């Protein structure tokens, strides 16, 4: 073998030695993250399954009715697999969920997965606008309160946030409808659109704002904005109160650190010190706060959807629960839990993007 071949072979071995640990580390990290998600999902499914079994609602009666004979009841009981051991039932449930099968809704007589695919975009649209309002207003409010700690801007922001925390969201929704819809007629009433515009554009994403833009129908877009602005503002106010409070807390701690004093001594402008350096470091924990706020809006918009007759996931789960439709309740609960898990993992990814030290 020539000297060149030896050198090339040694170089290739050296490169492999350098690359292999990196690949192993990255691969191990991805496998660990995937395993964490899978374990969490199995735990969520198990808890959801157990809750569905211990609730004082007979799923058989929900199917056959309370006037069915004992023979019909027993046949339905066996057909639903309720005569099998609990672990076997969970295994069947887990296999069905993996295939995207949550059973059939007793209320709509359609597969639960189809119902969720139909109603979830409405909740996603409402919660997304709500969290955007919370972030766009909550972060600056929190920064201003921290910079003016103990002075009137701080007291005003804290009072504004405290009011958002203290007032029940259903009460704010009702008051908003009375003032802005009934009295002032500034916003649209309950529902996503006026009845005249329902089903006038093809559903591409299920979110009317986006679908109307795709269809190029600005009349329906304006009508959709007219209807969504009030419920989104109510949810945005709730999100704003939480985000501004956490931003204020993070910023007060950050502004007291030594590097902030050093930056000011070096002659950096106050705006650069606050908005570039302090807020830049605060973004790391703030990402998790925003992700959790978003997940809470996806899960907690039940009352808002009920008050505004918003045909979303929250209203779907509530109606299913009142009708003892356990397949729909369990399917909706699993979707909400999956949203929490995915948003939590997304915040971990963004954390590494924002902070190179976490890589």
**Nearest one of 332, 349, 330 to 298, comparing CA atoms:** 332
Does any domain span residue 80? yes
Dist CA 290 CA 142 (whole Å): 13
DSSP string, 59-81: HHHHHH-TT--HHHHHHHHHHTT
Cβ 134 vs Cβ 293: under 8 Å = yes
Written as six digits, the tokens of 318 are: 């509530």
Q: Please count the residues of the chain.
A: 359
Does any domain span residue 61? yes
Regarding whether 259 and 216 lie in a shared domain, the answer is: yes
Output the tens digit of pLDDT for each of the chain's 359 residues.
555 454 444 544 454 444 455 445 555 566 776 777 788 888 888 887 887 777 767 777 767 777 777 888 788 778 777 778 888 888 888 888 888 888 888 788 888 899 999 999 999 999 999 999 999 999 999 999 999 988 998 999 999 888 887 888 888 888 999 999 988 889 888 888 888 888 888 888 889 999 999 999 999 999 999 999 999 999 999 899 999 999 999 999 988 888 888 888 888 888 888 888 888 888 888 988 898 888 888 876 777 888 898 888 888 888 888 877 888 888 888 888 888 888 888 887 777 777 666 55
Written as six digits, the tokens of 14 are: 């050296």
Regarding whether 221 and 167 lie in a shared domain, the answer is: yes
Regarding whether 251 and 147 lie in a shared domain, the answer is: yes
SS3 111: strand
- 167 Cβ contact list (under 8 Å, min separation 6): none
Regarding whether 94 and 116 lie in a shared domain, the answer is: no
Q: What is the CA radius of gyration of the chain?
A: 26
Regarding whether 166 and 88 lie in a shared domain, the answer is: no
Regarding whether 121 and 94 lie in a shared domain, the answer is: no
- 339 Cβ contact list (under 8 Å, min separation 6): 295, 298, 299
Q: Could you tell me the residue range of the domain that residue 327 belongs to? A: 112-358
SS3 content of the chain, % helix, strand, coil (to 5): 80, 0, 20
Regarding whether 184 and 39 lie in a shared domain, the answer is: no
């Amino acid at each position: 073998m020539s000297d060149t071949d030896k050198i090339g072979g040694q170089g290739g071995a050296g490169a492999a030695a350098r690359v292999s640990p990196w690949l192993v580390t990255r691969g191990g990290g991805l496998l660990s993250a995937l395993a964490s998600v899978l374990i969490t999902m199995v735990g969520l499914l198990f808890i959801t399954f157990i809750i569905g079994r211990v609730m004082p609602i007979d799923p058989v009666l929900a199917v056959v009715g309370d006037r069915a004979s004992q023979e019909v009841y027993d046949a339905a009981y066996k057909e639903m697999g309720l005569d099998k051991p609990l672990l076997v039932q969970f295994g069947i449930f887990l296999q069905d969920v993996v295939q995207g099968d949550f059973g059939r809704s007793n209320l709509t007589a359609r597969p639960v997965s189809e119902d969720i695919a139909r109603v979830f975009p409405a909740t996603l649209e409402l919660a997304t606008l709500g969290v955007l309002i919370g972030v766009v207003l909550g972060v600056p409010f929190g920064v201003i309160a921290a910079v003016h700690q103990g002075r009137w801007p701080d007291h005003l922001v804290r009072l504004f946030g405290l009011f958002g925390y203290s007032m029940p969201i259903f009460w704010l929704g009702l008051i908003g409808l009375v003032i802005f819809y009934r009295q002032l007629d500034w916003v649209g009433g309950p529902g996503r659109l006026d009845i005249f515009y329902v089903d006038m554009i093809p559903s591409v994403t299920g979110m009317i704002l986006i679908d109307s833009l795709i269809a190029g129908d600005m009349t329906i877009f304006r009508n959709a904005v007219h209807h969504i602005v009030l419920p989104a503002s109510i949810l945005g106010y709730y999100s704003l109160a939480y985000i501004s409070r956490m931003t204020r807390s993070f910023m007060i701690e950050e502004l007291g650190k030594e590097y902030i004093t050093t930056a000011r001594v070096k002659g950096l402008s106050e705006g650069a010190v606050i908005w570039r350096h302090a807020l830049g470091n605060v973004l790391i924990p703030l990402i998790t706060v925003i992700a959790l706020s978003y997940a809470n809006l996806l899960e907690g918009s039940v009352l808002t959807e009920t008050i505004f007759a918003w045909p979303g996931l929250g209203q779907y789960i509530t109606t299913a629960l009142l009708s003892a439709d356990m397949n729909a309740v369990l399917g909706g609960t699993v979707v909400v839990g999956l949203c929490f898990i995915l948003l939590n993992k997304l915040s971990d990814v963004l954390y590494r993007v924002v902070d190179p030290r976490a890589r």
